[in-house]
Amino acid sequence: MKDVVFYDFVRGPLLKFALFVFFAGISYRFFRVVFLGLPADYAKPKGNPYLMAVKKIIIKPTMGWTFNEIFSRRAINFIGGFLFHLGFLGLTFFVPAHALLWKEIIGISLPVMPSLIVDILTYSALGSLIALTLHRALNPVLKLLTGKDEYFANLLVALILFTGLLANKWAGGGLYIWLLSMHMLLADLLILYIPFSRLSHFVYYFLSVGFMGWNAGKRGVSF
């Protein structure tokens, strides 16, 4: 197969299909839950639940850090998880080549990062992903909780980061197109995979953290 034909396929029809499935899939998963509805709550709230819900959605990622004793036992989860999410989201949106992609998808020009920061984010995301995966495989609690999905997702994301890194760094001759196509193919697969897996947790974050904040506001606790 001609490499350019493959390249055109993964960035053309396949990507379009994946994007459509992604947007339809995540909104399906979101609204499937939202439209289940909620029983009315007549208890008078002690604080402002709605304000608290918004506040928690914004600050929740930093809240776990205040648990010193949990942090000390699970530093790898907190630091690794933080670095990974920072890296993955940063790279998805603000790498120059990806910014062009987003321009085409949503029509908004995103700012781009300098290449030094791209490198730092890639290495830290890849490193923390490997560390988290090892931790997942070794920790008894995580062994109980982990299924095949988690390992598959981790492998997929690691390969995407790795091929992206190679495509950026490595002048690999004619293999460059294959490498780039592979990066795109894996990314397409990831985009397709997200709505069908636990990777769609980012949409439920808004729901479940929102509810947590809502409950906190209802009960008048600050945390």
Q: Interface with another protein includes 180 (CB under 8 A)?
A: yes
Closest CB 49 distance from another protein, rounded Å = 12
Phi, psi at residue 48, to the nearest 5°?
-110, 100
96/127 with CB nearer another protein: 96
Closest CB 170 distance from another protein, rounded Å = 9
Closest CB 181 distance from another protein, rounded Å = 9
Using CA atoms, how far residue 173 sits from 68, 108, 134, 177, 178, in Å, is 50, 33, 33, 9, 10
**Within 124-163, which residues bind another protein (CB under 8 A)?**
139-147, 150
CB 210 within 8 A of CB 34: no
The 8-class DSSP code of residue 220 comes to T
Closest CB 211 distance from another protein, rounded Å = 5
What angle in degrees, to the nearest 10, is found between the helix axes of 49-63 and 201-219?
Answer: 120
Separation CA 146–CA 163 (nearest Å): 26
Residue of the chain from 58, 73, 75, 152 that contacts another protein (CB under 8 A)? 73
Q: Interface with another protein includes 37 (CB under 8 A)?
A: yes
139 three-state secondary structure: coil
Q: Report which of 129, 133, 130, 155 is spatially closest to residue 142, judged by C-alpha positions.
A: 133
Residue of the chain from 51, 59, 67, 152 that contacts another protein (CB under 8 A)? 67
Closest CB 125 distance from another protein, rounded Å = 17
Q: Interface with another protein includes 221 (CB under 8 A)?
A: yes
What angle in degrees, to the nearest 10, is found between the helix axes of 13-34 and 3-11?
Answer: 30
Residue of the chain from 48, 54, 55, 64 that contacts another protein (CB under 8 A)? 64
12 three-state secondary structure: coil
124/200 with CB nearer another protein: 200
The 8-class DSSP code of residue 199 comes to G
Q: Interface with another protein includes 43 (CB under 8 A)?
A: yes
**Within 83-122, which residues bind another protein (CB under 8 A)?**
95-101, 103-107, 112-115, 118
